[in-house]
Amino acid sequence: MSARVTRRQFVSAAASVAVLSNMPQPLSSFFPNQTTGVALTANPPWNEQGILNLANSPYAKLKNIPVHAVRIDTGFWASRRTANVENSIPSMGKLLEANGRMDNFRRLTGKSNAPQRGPVYSDSDVYKWLEAVGFTLQSGDRPELRAIAESMIKDVVAAQEPGGYLNTYFAGKLASERMEPRTQQWGHELYDIGHLLQGATAYYRATGERTLLDAGIRFVNDFLLPAYGPGPDKKPIFSGHPEIELALVELYRMTGDKRQLRLAEYVLNGDDRIALEKRDYVYHFCGKPFTSRTHLEGHAVRAMYACCGAADYYLETGDDSYWKTLNTLWSDLVSRQMYITGGVGARSDGEAFGEHYELPNAQAYGESCAAIGNMMWNWRMLAATGDARYADVIERALYNGINSGMSLSGTLYCYRNPLAFDPENGDKIRNEWYDTTCCPPNLERTFASLPGYFYSTSRDGLYVHLFHNSELNWHLRNGTSLKVVQKTNYPWQGVVEIEVSPSSPAEFTIYLRIPGWSGRCSVTVNGKPVPGGESGRYLPLRRRWTSGDVIHLDLEMSPQILEANARVVEDNGRVAVQRGPLVYCLEQLDQPAGVALAEVALLTDSAKPEQGFSDSFEKGLLDGVVVLHHEGAAVHASDARRALYFPSSAAAGKTTKVPLTFIPYYAWANRAPTPMVVWTPLLKS
């Protein structure tokens, strides 16, 4: 713990940033007519705002705490976050440079002669990376990263036009296509600005430095609001790739400018002056009233970001029609459309949701960005309700379908996150760079923001969402300072010790999450059993808390064998293995030589096959994982059964017993290319 930066130190660091933000800001003098210095809320001040600033959101039951309030120094996420900060973010910064993403900006100010590079949405890669840096800096200063970010922000902001427009693709000859109907559909102009605002917000909340945020505000206030929106004197907006919606609401949370909230509503509602075919509003998941949606469909990331924006809008307005729609879509998500990994998006074709229960494994798309969008959406639903079912989805996506997206090294990324894989088909699943490089910085910003997801405050206390070695230093909403120290080996072990230390004794409630996956659990406070813990609920622990009080949570961590709804046809007759929040998989290279994964089944002679597991923590394997062992069978099909189709009566062939070794899904494809499968046939002997 020696390297810890205290809250006090951090605030000092932030104060030193203020000097930096006092540096001459050439843009305002270049463009004197621009919107600058829009007042930003000081309640709470920038360095007390969380991932979302819900402090004044009337329909947010739970409020975010700032990222810096939680320190994670050891344990599961500590090593992932170290890889993120030490390897992922720096290497991605270099790759963005190497692939011309920054030269795209410099070209517009004459600082580069390089031609435009990258797809139409390439600006967003830079903004997402800046968001990752912003969240990183919220956990403590990183001068080398901040210097790069500052330099990039200068180049970005310098490329902004006096009228507020900012986009490196629709420049030069393509400037005439700005905001044209087809450009709104495919050009990602507002998507880019949405990410600019998110990146700028994270950076502002880390440093107090608002140069980039002001650029975003200029785009919205000077370019967008005067000319676009409802009414005959304005041009219509089609969001194209939802993202601006959630960004506008978050901007409103900082500026209090209701025009921004109303614009978000307008975009969520669609504008029937823009003629769309059904396939357009299906694929883009925008352009018709959000509240008319009945199920998730189309491009998964678009749908998730749209749901985020709609949930954000609800948190500010309490609009019941939005809430109903959000719940309808959420039910669709968890009952028909979500992978067991928390991944979403069944189809590569259109990166899209499929039909109900269409959840193929090898063909799964499960884009990393979509799983992240799923977590973001559920974070907003959780804030609205304090209902643990949303936290369950967050944990499922985070530990599995998101976590799988970044290699253990931190430098390779999955775009797709399939649930079965065979390298023979020629795919390389982890890559350091994609020309459409949305996923890598998205993963980076998510891991960097992670401490902000651990707790929320409510009117009457504190919600504990995630379990991990950590230290919270924050305060309740009534101002009572509070330190909460978690000691645990979660997710490898189920015991969590939570020391609660208010600055002075106070009565409040700790809402302790009992994960939906847990069977039995026991809770004690200062050694005294507390009844009523129920899986999938928060257990309210109301008492007069005194410094040093200890909550002891013991979750049963035995492996579970799960089946899927019979309508998920690819999972028929198959089971998935989960232990705690972690979904497991088989990789070919862990199984005995000569046994093909495609011929392997989990073997049981028991009605409770989960009792056949043994587990062991393998320190040297995959940065340290709990490995599961279970008896399996290699099914050697008879000749007849090796045919593509054969009579049901054909002799089955031999079966031999083989020991099976399962590893956590998130850690797959970190060694040699090898087949992988999550859903394994279950064979009853």
Q: Where does this chain bind a second copy (CB under 8 A)?
A: 334-336, 338, 340, 347-349, 354-356, 358, 360-363, 420, 422, 424-425, 560-570, 572-576, 598-599, 607-610, 635, 637, 641-650, 681-682
Q: Which CB, 153 or 564, lies closer to a second copy?
A: 564
Give the chain's end-to-end CA distance (angstroms, integer): 51
Nearest approach, Cβ of residue 649 and a second copy (Å): 6
Measured from the CB atom, is 169 or 283 closer to a second copy?
A: 283
User: In the numeric block, which tokens belong to residue 18?
Assistant: 């203020």
> By the 8 A CB rule, do 374 and 304 touch?
yes
Minimum distance of a second copy from residue 665's CB (angstroms): 14
List C-alpha distances in Å: 579 to 175, 220, 606, 665, 668: 53, 46, 19, 11, 16
CB of 418 to a second copy, least distance (A): 11
Closer to a second copy by Cβ: residue 292 or 572:
572
The structure tokens listed for 673 are 């290319």
- How do strand 600-604 and strand 653-664 relate by DSSP bridges? unpaired
Q: How far apart are CA 201 and CA 612, in angstroms?
A: 50
* Distance (Å, whole) CA 602 – CA 632: 4
Type of residue at 112: S
Nearer to a second copy (CB atom), residue 406 or residue 576:
576
- The burial of 169, by beta-carbon neighbours within 10 Å (0-12 exposed, 13-18 middle, 19 or more buried), is given as buried
User: Nearer to a second copy by C-beta: 176 or 649?
Assistant: 649
Cis-peptide, bond into residue 44, ω within 30° of zero: yes
Which residue, among 128, 268, 99, 262, has the nearest Cα to 201 in the 3D structure?
128
Shortest Å, Cβ 117 to a second copy: 19
* CB crowding 591-606: b at 16 or more within 10 Å, else e: beeebebeebbbbbee
Nearer to a second copy by C-beta: 323 or 517?
Answer: 517
Please, what is the minimum distance in Å from the beta carbon of residue 82 to a second copy?
32
Please, which residue, 176 or 648, has the CB nearer to a second copy?
Answer: 648
- Judge whether 312 and 245 are in contact, CB under 8 Å: yes
What is the sign, positive or negative, of the torsion defined by CA atoms of 226, 230, 233, 239?
positive
Comparing CB distances to a second copy, the nearer of 219 and 353 is: 353
| Closer residue to a second copy, CB minimum distance, 356 or 629 | 356
Q: How many residues does the chain have?
A: 685
Least separation in angstroms between CB 65 and a second copy: 31
CA 419, CA 576: separation in Å to the nearest integer? Answer: 10
Nearest distance, CB of residue 102 and a second copy, angstroms: 28
Name residues whose C-beta falls within 8 Å of residue 49's C-beta, 6 or more positions apart in sequence.
Answer: 55, 64, 66, 205, 254
Q: How far is the CB of 644 from a second copy (least distance, A)?
A: 5
* Least Å from the CB of residue 575 to a second copy: 6
Residue 315: CB atoms within 10 A of its CB come to 24
Residue 506 to residue 127: CA distance in whole angstroms: 42
Minimum CB separation of residue 660 from a second copy in Å reads 16
Q: Between 472 and 683, whose beta carbon lies closer to a second copy? A: 683
Query: Strand 413-414 relative to strand 430-431: parallel, antiparallel, unpaired?
Result: antiparallel
From the CB of 155, what's the least distance to a second copy, in Å? 33
In the bound state with a second copy, the residue whose beta carbon lies nearer, of 206 and 600, is 600
